[in-house]
Amino acid sequence: MTQLYENRVVTKTPVKQWEILKDEKYHPFPPEPFSGEPIGVGETWGELWESHWFKSSVSLLDDFPFDAASRFRPVLSISLGAKEQYEPGPEALLFLNGAPVGGLDANHKEIWFTDDEWQDGQHEILMKGFAGQNVGRRVFKQADVLLVDVLTNELYQALKQAYDIALQLDESSTVRTGLLRLVDDAFLAIDSRYPHSQEFASSVTHALHEFRTSIKNFTGYKELSLPTIHLVGHAHIDVAWLWRIEQTREKAARTFSTVLRLMEEEANFKYIQSQPQLYDYVKSDYPELYKRIGKRVKTGQWEPTGAMWVEADCNIPNGESLVRQILYGKKFFKNEFNVDNHTLWLPDVFGYNWQMPQILRRSGIDSFMTTKISWNQYNRPENDTFWWRGLDGTELLTHFITAPTPDAPNVKFFTYNGVVDAASVFGTWKNYRQKDINQDLLLAFGYGDGGGGPTREMLNAAKNWLDVPGGTSVDFSTVESYFSRLHDKLDENEDVPIWDGELYLEYHRGTYTSQAKNKKLNRQSESLYRDIEFYATLALHLMKTMYPKDLLDEGWKLILLNQFHDIIPGSSIPEVYIDSLEDYERVMSLGTAALHFSVASMFELNSEHPAIIVGNSLSWSVTGYASIPWSHQLENLVAIDEETGEVTALERLQPLDASLPGQSIEGEIAVLRVRDVPPMGWKSLALVPSHTKQLGSPRCQVQELGNQVIVENEVLRMVFNEAGSISEMYDKTNRRQVLPKGEVGNRLVVFEDKPLDYDAWDIDVFYTEKSWIVDNLIRREVKSWADGSVSIVQTWTFLNSQIMQRAMIHPEDSVVSFETEVDWHEHQLMLKVEFPTDLRTNKATCDIQFGNIERPTHSNTSWDAAKFEVCAHKWVDVSERSYGVSLLNNCKYGHDIRGNTLRLTLLKSAIWPDKNADNGVHRFTYAIYPHNGDWYEAQTPRRAYEYNSPLRAFRGGTKPGLRPKYSFCKVESPSVMIEALKQSEEGFATVLRLYEFSGARANCRISFAQALSHVFLCNLLEEEESELTIERNGTEVTLPFKPYQIVTLKVTFAVDGGNV
């Protein structure tokens, strides 16, 4: 078989006289004029991350006279270096006469010339070569024009496919015996004495004809009956991973040009490409290539689907981000190609939260595909095709591709980088578990992760499969048509199983924590853009200020880009996070400008103004801290609420944690605690001399006894021990100890973190076997604040690192916050903080997108034990019926909650693919919240939102026509909150996104400050579904909520602006 493959090449003509030119900065096309240095085959080129242009020319007609009826074809064969781990070695985009025609890598080495290109004869060859990810120079290994015997190549493909199919069948099968006999007969018919002789060519022609004739007459296939495997070409292109986004732009161009060339050769070939971000890159870099894609979309060969802007992580992004992923993704495909997506294509994402079915169905998505759950460490799901029932009860048709990993029989993982061979096609069916209800399976074929896509050999294998009766039906398909048929078959089938719960991946648990700075910037960006849209909407209605949509769109797309499933999880090389930091700086810059633009249209902003405006973007009244930049003008001033007469102190402070996202403050700040800021509005406080007013707030009591500090407020009594941990926390109101006897809270613990496989990705279950307590307390400072609060600043050292923390206790609050700065210089050590609780419960409640989920705190089953590290957003809670403890945070996601102990994972510090991951300075805040009742009675979700979308203060007063106290709207339900307030994507309506967070039904009234004109119930894409009745003087609507339901309203007002 190998000899036959080699004999397909009749002649080999070297391509000589190459020039090479280093590309100093990313350029889609070569510089003009091209002035390079000579390079020859066998010479070295390129270092790590470098790109170089190669230039030469070929004259086909000189060596290969054109013959339209010829059985031969000239083929350009090029290799720029050896294959590398996780990546197909050096890669290149090949240009013929200035036009990109295909990608070159270890899996794609040949460019077959068309008849027209052959006839044209003379061609300028340009290559943009990328040296790859490994240190050391590459070797320019090959550059030849091959003359390929097409019939010999076809015979090889046909015989190989038949042989591979035969080997997949049972040894006793007559089909197997018959196929092997036909293959053997074909080889016996070949005159191989002198390859490329006339005798050889004639024998190949005869053998191919006889084999095809025999296959048509072959009847042994009747013994075998297998399903239809629907083939779709695919290239998984990681937007960033072991390469930077700059290289992804080129990977997309290489892959897309390869696919387009294959489509010219095979009209039945279908290809799916997700991720509008990639299309946007190609549209910018290679507009002519992009136009060719559009033409293939119209013919039905190229399928732009998948729904999301990028294939996003589904653990870390908040609910609104996931909505925007789909909103921007579907909008791009609709506007560019007039295509509406109905399938979410996420083959390689590290788990899927429980609200996904509702988010997807309410966005016009009715199907979902992944392969990643097959990577589970301990438990393989029982079903591969099922209804996934979401948190609110919404059901989504879900299908797992079950294609085996090529050339890896012992690997249990299924793949989205499939090939078309007998082992893959048969293996897809063998691995599938719902054989009784479905016999139509999907196989995505093509090289991926770093792109590349299908090969000519894969297409030939598919074509030959159609001609070889192995009992298996194979066809080319699109993803959307596959799922449409699957719906037709299964929608009314009562035997389709249901999975009710999250799709937790029992692997890659470290992705909740790795690259902590990146995760913090994501959380801050989400919070900032939520606030921008709020203030911009108010400014639009109250002052007719232009809504900054262009700024918001640019910022949102950068946020969405950096939620790609190898960026935000922390599993990329360090250079990716350099680029990501620049993106977030741009996000913050755009956001800050948009926020200032909107706020300045409503408020007279002046650093010397005798008032402070405090804004609240949440849908309930908030009491909390706000801050403004400190100036000496604020000395001896207090803030007074002129409506209530309450006086608030201004506390001068150097923050450990960063201030509000988008409100960058260098240096000191003035902090004040403000009561009852109206929902979705503001209140004004006057600044007056402190000697004219008396502070009437209660005060914390603090006592230092030896190495202990005892702090007592109206709710709690706490003892900080000699190591800096909390040795006692007594709830005076509820008369109970929060911590178990003899145990301590807020204990910092470092664990050895050396996973078996993927360092940045994984936390393995045995990590708890080796740990160290951070107890080397070197400094402690206790301070009483003017408003009665107490802060305890403590500093520890651990090996090469230092941790400084400010514990903050307010006189009337049971929330104790820990503002933390860590200067971390460790490797493969994981930092956690733990709070044991004196509670008896076997479950924890965890905040997720648009809701929460209960998870076990025990290991009764292998499914329970596998969840030893879980993802949660703003809070987690353990509660008995009458009492509980919540743990809040402002930028962390990894948690482990076993027994009665809450742990928050703070830093991971992996060494691959970033050898210094998480080294450096980190600032974050978390808080412990003991409370009466369970998490709902304690309103933990609201308290956590107040930590993540805190009050914003501005030095200044309202402009004429605006009142000093204002509320845009109010939600009259304790279990419903507004997640987003924004201008509609189309037109000038106002959009509100709300959700029920308690798991109960609610009848919710929403009242507005202005008279309403129309209120429409919409889906998440803001498409109108029904109109609601406006009540009570035209300012209110009432609507029912089901448990965890997400509701989107589109509102227009009778009169904008006015004295409000």
- Residue 324: how many CB atoms within 10 A of its CB? 25
Q: How far apart are CA 1036 and CA 1059, in angstroms?
A: 19
DSSP code, position 811: T
Task: Specify whether the CB–CB gap between 531 and 682 falls below 8 A.
Answer: no
Residue 85 has what pLDDT? 62
Residue 662 has what pLDDT? 41
- Residues ≥6 apart with Cβ < 8 Å to 341: 304, 305, 306, 307, 329, 330, 333, 364, 365, 480
Residue 219 has what pLDDT? 52
Residue 1057 has what pLDDT? 41
Q: Which amino acid is at 513?
A: T
* 69 has pLDDT over 60: yes
CATH topology of domain 968-1060: Immunoglobulin-like (2.60.40)
* 47 has pLDDT over 60: yes
CATH of 224-507, one of 3.10.580.10, 3.20.110.10, 1.50.40.10, 1.10.10.410: 3.20.110.10
Task: Specify whether the CB–CB gap between 902 and 876 falls below 8 A.
Answer: yes
Percentages helix, strand, coil for the chain (3-state, rounded to 5) are 25, 35, 40
Run of H or E residues at 539: helix 516-543
Residue 471 has what pLDDT? 59
**Mean local confidence (pLDDT), 975-997:** 97
Residue 658 has what pLDDT? 47
DSSP bridge pairs for 1041: 1002
Q: How far apart are CA 793 and CA 657, in angstroms?
A: 13
Q: How far apart are CA 305 and CA 302, in angstroms?
A: 10
* 697 has pLDDT over 90: no
For the chain, give every domain's residue range.
224-507, 522-602, 611-696, 701-948, 968-1060
Dump pLDDT digits (tens) for 591-641: 999 999 999 999 999 988 999 999 999 999 999 999 999 998 899 999 999
Nearest CA to 508 out of 857, 316, 314, 764 is that of 764
**Mean local confidence (pLDDT), 338-367:** 98
Task: Specify whether the CB–CB gap between 822 and 799 falls below 8 A.
Answer: no
* 971 has pLDDT over 60: yes
CA of 1000: how far to CAs of 212, 860, 938, 997, in Å? 66, 28, 16, 8
- State the greatest distance between any 2 C-alpha atoms of the chain, in Å, as a whole number: 112
CA of 1049: how far to CAs of 149, 330, 355, 854, 1027, in Å? 65, 20, 19, 29, 9
Q: How far apart are CA 502 and CA 945, in angstroms?
A: 23
**3-state SS assignment for residue 201:** helix
Residue 695 has what pLDDT? 66
Residue 664 has what pLDDT? 43
* 331 has pLDDT over 50: yes
Q: How far apart are CA 374 and CA 431, in angstroms?
A: 11
Dump pLDDT digits (tens) for 132-171: 888 889 999 999 999 999 999 999 999 999 999 999 888 8
**Mean local confidence (pLDDT), 518-528:** 98
219 vs 370 pLDDT, higher one:
370
Q: Which amino acid is at 316?
A: I
Q: Give me the count of residues in the chain.
A: 1060
Task: Specify whether the CB–CB gap between 744 and 727 falls below 8 A.
Answer: yes
Q: And the tokens for 255?
A: 């892959």
Q: And the tokens for 866?
A: 């596998």
The mean of the pLDDT values for the chain is 94
102 vs 89 pLDDT, higher one:
102
Q: And the tokens for 815?
A: 């929330």
CATH topology of domain 522-602: Substrate Binding Domain Of Dnak; Chain:A; Domain 2 (1.20.1270)
Residue 690 has what pLDDT? 86
Q: How confident is the model at residue 663 (pLDDT cuts 50, 70, 90)?
A: very low
Task: Specify whether the CB–CB gap between 826 and 747 falls below 8 A.
Answer: no
Lowest average pLDDT, out of 77-81, 225-229, 641-645, 963-967, goes to 225-229
- Residue 287: how many CB atoms within 10 A of its CB? 10
DSSP bridge pairs for 161: none
Q: Cis (ω within 30 of 0) for the bond into 33?
A: yes
- β pairing state of 883-889 and 894-898: unpaired
Q: Which amino acid is at 82?
A: A
Geometric angle at alpha carbon 347, from 344 and 349, rounded to 5°: 95
**3-state SS assignment for residue 813:** coil
**Mean local confidence (pLDDT), 994-998:** 98
Encode 16-70 in three state secondary structure. Answer: CCEEEEECCCCCCCCCCCCCCEEECCCCEECCCCCEEEEEEEEEHHHHCCCCCCC
CATH of 701-948, one of 3.40.630.30, 2.70.98.30, 3.40.50.1360, 3.40.309.10: 2.70.98.30
337 vs 70 pLDDT, higher one:
337
Q: Cis (ω within 30 of 0) for the bond into 100?
A: no
CA of 863: how far to CAs of 88, 859, 867, in Å? 37, 8, 7
DSSP bridge pairs for 103: 93
CA dihedral 61, 65, 70, 71 (to 10 degrees): -70
Q: Is the fold of 224-507 the same as that of 611-696? A: no
Q: How confident is the model at residue 464 (pLDDT cuts 50, 70, 90)?
A: confident
Q: How far apart are CA 688 and CA 642, in angstroms?
A: 11
Geometric angle at alpha carbon 409, from 404 and 412, rounded to 5°: 60
Task: Specify whether the CB–CB gap between 396 and 388 falls below 8 A.
Answer: yes
Task: Specify whether the CB–CB gap between 486 and 367 falls below 8 A.
Answer: yes
Alpha carbon 537 to chain centroid distance?
Answer: 28
**3-state SS assignment for residue 286:** coil
- The answer, as to whether pTM is greater than 0.75, is yes
Q: How confident is the model at residue 659 (pLDDT cuts 50, 70, 90)?
A: very low
Q: How confident is the model at residue 84 (pLDDT cuts 50, 70, 90)?
A: low
**Mean local confidence (pLDDT), 191-199:** 93
Rg (Cα) of the chain, in Å, rounded? 32
Q: How far apart are CA 629 and CA 210, in angstroms?
A: 86
Q: And the tokens for 625?
A: 């801290």
Dump pLDDT digits (tens) for 721-776: 999 999 999 999 999 999 999 999 999 999 999 999 999 999 999 999 999 999 99
DSSP code, position 491: T
Q: Which residues in 721-764 belong to E strands, given as ranges?
A: 726-731, 736-737, 747-752
Task: Specify whether the CB–CB gap between 746 and 728 falls below 8 A.
Answer: no
Dump pLDDT digits (tens) for 796-854: 999 999 999 999 999 999 999 999 999 999 999 999 999 999 999 999 999 999 999 99
Nearest CA to 947 out of 885, 905, 998, 888 is that of 888
Encode 865-902 in three state secondary structure. Answer: HHCCCEECCCEEEEECCCEEEEEEECCCCEEEEECCEE
* 660 has pLDDT over 80: no
Q: At what angle do helices 276-285 and 287-299 cross, to 10 degrees?
A: 130
Q: How far apart are CA 434 and CA 490, in angstroms?
A: 12
**Mean local confidence (pLDDT), 464-478:** 75
- Residue 631: how many CB atoms within 10 A of its CB? 12
CATH of 611-696, one of 3.40.50, 2.60.120, 2.40.160, 2.60.40: 2.60.40
**Mean local confidence (pLDDT), 653-662:** 60
Residue 62 has what pLDDT? 87
Encode 235-270 in three state secondary structure. Answer: CCECCCCCCCHHHHHHHHHHHHHHHHHHHHHCCCCC
DSSP code, position 1004: E
- DSSP alpha helix (H) spans, 714-790: none
Q: And the tokens for 73?
A: 């074809």
67 vs 252 pLDDT, higher one:
252
Residue 696 has what pLDDT? 63
Residue 225 has what pLDDT? 57
Q: How confident is the model at residue 657 (pLDDT cuts 50, 70, 90)?
A: low
